[in-house]
Structure 1
Amino acid sequence: MSKIIITCAVTGSIHTPSMSPHLPVTPDQIAEQALGAAEAGAAILHLHARDPADGRPSADPAHYAAYLPRLKQAAGAVLNLTTGGSAVMSLEDRLAAPKAFAPEMCSLNMGSMNFALHPAAEKITDWKHPWERPFLENSDDLVFKNTPRDIARILKDLGEDRGARFEFECYDVGHLYMLRHFFDRGAVTPPLFIQFVFGVLGGIGADPAHLLHLKETADKLFGSDYAFSVLAAGRWQMPMATMAAALGGHVRVGLEDSLMISRGQLAQDNAEQVAKIRRIVEELGRDPATPDEARGMLGLKGADRTTI
């Protein structure tokens, strides 16, 4: 109960370079910020890649290969590769890098949903790259596809075939029931690591009552077979993570989820957010788990069994 896993989502695919000069986009920037987050206390690094030429979200394994070996050698943290990639990518593209590198852990979105980013475009007046504005504005007609067939394929290709375990990302209560469906089929086994996601337009809102409801539902569906973590987008990042820690859960921060460190102030890097949530959880009497402690808690196969 006292050990708390801090995950850092380093860059993601939602924010664009025009939103913050501190968003890491090149392999060196991603590696440096990931190493800083690990040093600050993150046991898990949730990872995406970007095209270093313009910061566009990338599924190219070569863009991952430009920084993953450095992290494996120097960080010691659990390297968690996205299977979500970007909502505009095909499933084939999204799976290319995790299939190539067979990581200890992958993220897995537990349902299709609207994934609306277009309000963010209204706040930007100075665009760095031509792709950014249409990428954001066109999300008012975007469905992030994660069908039961997609989920089953990811579980087989990465779980059954490559030994990865999953950060099950649940953006709404129905996603918990989808996870239970795969649990009943024997496609997933405990311990489950469920990431409650709040504040994305198209998913459940960042309301404390919703966190309690998701936890109560997960308790009913999974009993002692799961642990939960919380991430919240934007200004709700720290308040919802603090509530999760107080409830005995785990936490996720990082520039993928919020670009800010406090109201009106951009975070200088990922480590700043990790250090802040670490101070908070330690004040609550929780001890940040080391990477190896996290591996034991989540039943991971170990970094030596990856192809990074």
Structure 2
Amino acid sequence: MRKAEKVIITTAVTGSVHVPSQSPHLPLSAAEVAESALGAVEAGSAVVHLHARLPDGRPTADPAVFEEIIDTVTARSDAVVNITTGGSTAMTMDERLAAAKRIRPELASLNMGSMNFVYAGIADRVASWRHDWEKSYVLNTYSTPFVNTFASIEHTLRTLGEFGTRFEYECYDIGHLYSLAHFVDAGLAEPPLLIQGVFGVLGGIGADHSNLEHMVNIADKLFGEDYSFSAFAAGRDQFRFGTHSAWLGGHVRVGLEDGLWLGRGRLAESNAQQVEKIRAAVEDLGKRIATPNEAREILALRGATGR
């Protein structure tokens, strides 16, 4: 791993997992997502990882909604914009790529395999639903996998690669590292890589700190110093895993996509609050925080131009 001299904070602003009934602070409309992203940048986040939603919170792949968010973010900050190609299990591959194909971002996420991606347990924790779509949406993940075949991964790499887009490779298990190595060997995934270790999603690797160290050890064997590492854990382990990643020499990711809480029994009121908390932890380790342009240099990004 390339040890981080300056730590990149990524903020996953809204995602497509959590539903409005879980928190009144989850940004939903394009304007809310954009303002929440800008607050995170002001707090120290170099990268904003973006999904889009309709005003009722339903995840959407509509490029026009993404454009509304991104136009606001880029007009008022120099943040690195990272567009999802994951979307949700309810979206087709064409839908998941539509926004990135139109916007041509400098960075996009790429899940490194098909998997059971289960968050049906949300239904057990919500006593009252704000919208009629929410309960069936989360329950459906118990029977519907997230599909990202090797053919789909190759298609994404080739399609977005033509625009100079680079990737945040999301690895939910050790096997995903070997899948990534396959595409590196094929010349489709070009170092330096950004590997995002994802822990604590039901269907993927568990939020055990020994798993984090194991993932880094395997990545070191496969990629040497040709990669930067970042990690997050879903839910209550979010900040512990971010701190552990920084301690190991990696980068960090927080955000309301990954966890709705600031501490035990306390909902985060904004993405900025989560950035401030992880920033303080990283700085307590004696590490400095990367600016957006420093993040671009670390990750070999092309810059914000290209649309």
TM-score (norm 2): 0.98
Aligned position for 1:235: 236
| SS of corresponding position for 1:245 | helix
Letter in 2 for 1:243: H
Query: Which of 134, 146, 149 does residue 148 from structure 2 map onto?
Result: 146
Aligned position for 1:33: 36
Aligned position for 2:220: 219
Please give the root-mean-square deviation of Cα atoms over the aligned residues, in Å. 0.6
Aligned position for 1:81: 83
Shift of 1:66: 1.7
Q: Structure 1 stretch 236-245 or stretch 65-74: which is displaced more? A: 65-74
Aligned position for 1:193: 194
Q: Matched residue pairs, number? A: 304
Q: Distance in 1 between matches of 2:280 and 2:132?
A: 39
Q: Distance in 1 between matches of 2:281 and 2:39?
A: 18
**Kept after mapping to 2: 8 A contact 1:60/1:97:** yes
Aligned position for 1:15: 18
Q: Distance in 2 between matches of 1:186 and 1:15?
A: 36
Aligned position for 1:252: 253
| 2:52 maps to 1:49 | yes
Letter in 1 for 2:288: D
Q: Distance in 2 between matches of 1:24 and 1:271?
A: 12
| SS of corresponding position for 1:113 | coil
Letter in 2 for 1:197: V
Shift of 1:67: 1.7
Q: Distance in 2 between matches of 1:36 and 1:290?
A: 15
Query: What whole-Å deviation, never above 9, does each CA across 1:127-153 have from its counterpart, x for those lacking one?
Result: 010000000112110110010000000
Shift of 1:2: 2.6
Query: What whole-Å deviation, never above 9, does each CA across 1:90-129 have from its counterpart, x for those lacking one?
Result: 0000000000000000000001000111111111011010
1:58-97 matches, within 5 Å, as: 58-97=60-99
Q: Which runs of 5+ in 1 are unaligned?
A: none
Shift of 1:28: 1.2
Q: Distance in 1 between matches of 2:107 and 2:224?
A: 22
**Kept after mapping to 2: 8 A contact 1:2/1:285:** no
Q: Distance in 2 between matches of 1:249 and 1:257?
A: 18
| SS of corresponding position for 2:196 | strand
| SS of corresponding position for 2:10 | strand
Q: Structure 1 stretch 133-142 or stretch 37-46: which is displaced more? A: 133-142
Letter in 1 for 2:204: G
| SS of corresponding position for 1:133 | helix
Shift of 1:72: 0.8
**Kept after mapping to 2: 8 A contact 1:87/1:145:** yes
Shift of 1:247: 0.4
TM-score (norm 1): 0.98
Shift of 1:65: 1.7
Q: Which runs of 5+ in 2 are unaligned?
A: none
Aligned position for 2:282: 281
| SS of corresponding position for 1:218 | helix
**Kept after mapping to 1: 8 A contact 2:89/2:141:** no
Moved over 6 A (4+): none
Aligned position for 2:138: 136
